[in-house]
């Protein structure tokens, strides 16, 4: 992983801000997340977390994650923002995904961007690896951090809360 500085950091924060604007479309009551995928300074995919299309009745935001075993993978109601961004890119720019960079952000309850924690989502890291996304970008307390997707995936498997 590497932390960005100067113009690279400014540009990354601009993309994170675009992801934050997309996150505002989320109807999730637990967390609103947004994602953009960039290739050659162009957005090739974007997404926000939400229940599957036309399945708002599946919304389970108010159910505590403690009600299911921790080894069970994602039991929330939402398709992740990263998954939606990848699907959007596959639909609209399938030849651009290989070598792209993914920017992710989560909003607080007031709609402000939050600093990210450690990588933890193996669902999204595996999907990104499969389609050729080469880097994940997160905004941490220390600054904007770029992870190679292989590294992000490994760290996600090592994550323990």
Percentages (nearest 5) of helix, strand, coil residues in the chain = 35, 25, 40
What interhelical angle do 122-131 and 81-92 show, nearest 10? Answer: 20
Q: What's the CATH number where 103 sits?
A: 3.40.140.10
pTM of the model: 0.89
Please give the residue range of the domain that contains residue 133.
Answer: 2-158
Domain count, the chain: 1
pLDDT tens for the chain, residues 1 to 161: 999 999 999 999 999 999 999 999 998 888 899 999 999 999 999 999 988 876 555 555 555 656 545 544 566 678 999 999 999 999 999 999 999 999 999 999 999 999 999 998 999 999 999 999 999 999 999 999 999 999 999 999 898 77
Under a CB-based contact definition with an 8 Å cutoff, are residues 79 and 50 in contact? yes
Q: Where are the beta strands (DSSP E) in the chain?
A: 2-3, 32-39, 42-48, 101-107, 113-114, 135-140, 143-148
C-alpha atoms less than 13 angstroms from C-alpha of 148 in its C-beta half-sphere: 4
What the block records as the tokens of 157 is 């498997």
Q: Six-digit token pair at 62?
A: 């108010």
């Amino acid at each position: 992983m590497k932390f960005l500085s100067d113009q690279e950091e400014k540009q990354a924060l601009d993309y994170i801000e675009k992801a934050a604007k997309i996150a505002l479309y989320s109807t999730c009551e637990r967390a609103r997340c947004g994602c953009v995928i960039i290739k050659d300074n162009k957005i090739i995919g974007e997404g926000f977390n939400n229940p599957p299309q036309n399945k708002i009745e599946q919304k389970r935001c108010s159910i505590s994650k403690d009600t299911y075993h921790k080894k069970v993978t994602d039991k929330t109601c939402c398709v992740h923002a990263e998954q939606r961004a990848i699907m959007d890119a596959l639909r609209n720019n399938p030849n651009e995904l290989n070598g792209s960079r993914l920017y992710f952000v989560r909003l607080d309850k007031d709609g402000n961007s939050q600093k990210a924690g450690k990588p933890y989502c193996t669902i999204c890291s595996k999907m990104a690896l499969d389609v050729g996304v080469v880097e994940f970008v997160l905004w941490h307390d220390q600054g904007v951090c770029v992870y190679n997707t292989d590294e992000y995936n490994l760290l996600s498997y090592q994550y323990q809360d």
